[in-house]
Structures are given as structure tokens and as C-alpha cells.
Amino acid sequence: MPIATISAPYTVAGCAFTPPTGNGPCVTAQWVVGAARVTSEGQPLAILTGTATCTPTGTPLVPVGAQTRALAT
């Protein structure tokens, strides 16, 4: 399974959240904080305990699934 880094925005699927201001639902999310010591091609990996912000709502991203291990060669 490919890894995910924090370098690019990711598409959000299945967002049912619509904030009171009407600027939703979430379309993309950008990771702000990823893995502290694990990188791929110089970019930190996106991890479940990291921080990501959704656009256009500005709400935190709540990931629902991810791989649990990465192997290095």
C-alpha cells in the first residue's frame, strides 16, 4: 500500500458536515503536522495522530482508516 505524506492536499470523501456559516461540506484537507521522525523523500508521513485542516470549512480532519505499519528498505 502506498504511503501518504503531508506535502499535498487530499480529497475528502463522504463529508456530511455543513457548518452554520454554510461554507461546507469539506472538499480537501491539508496536513499540518505529521510524523516527527519518519519521512519519505524528505516529507513527513501523514499519521492518524497528526493534524489536518479541511477546506473550505477550516474544521479538523478526522481520518477513519490508515495502514498501521510501514516497512523501509
DSSP H or E segment with residue 54: strand 51-55
What confidence score (pLDDT) does residue 22 get?
Answer: 67
pLDDT averaged over every residue in the chain:
84
Could you tell me the residue range of the domain that residue 49 belongs to?
10-55
What confidence score (pLDDT) does residue 32 get?
Answer: 92
Number of domains forming the structure of the chain: 1
CA distance 61 to 27: 11
CA distance 73 to 55: 35
Closest C-alpha to 41, from 64, 72, 1, 9: 72
- Tell me whether residue 20 is in a domain: yes
- Tell me whether residue 62 is in a domain: no
Mean pLDDT of successive 10-residue stretches along the chain, which has 73 residues: 86 78 81 90 89 87 80 72
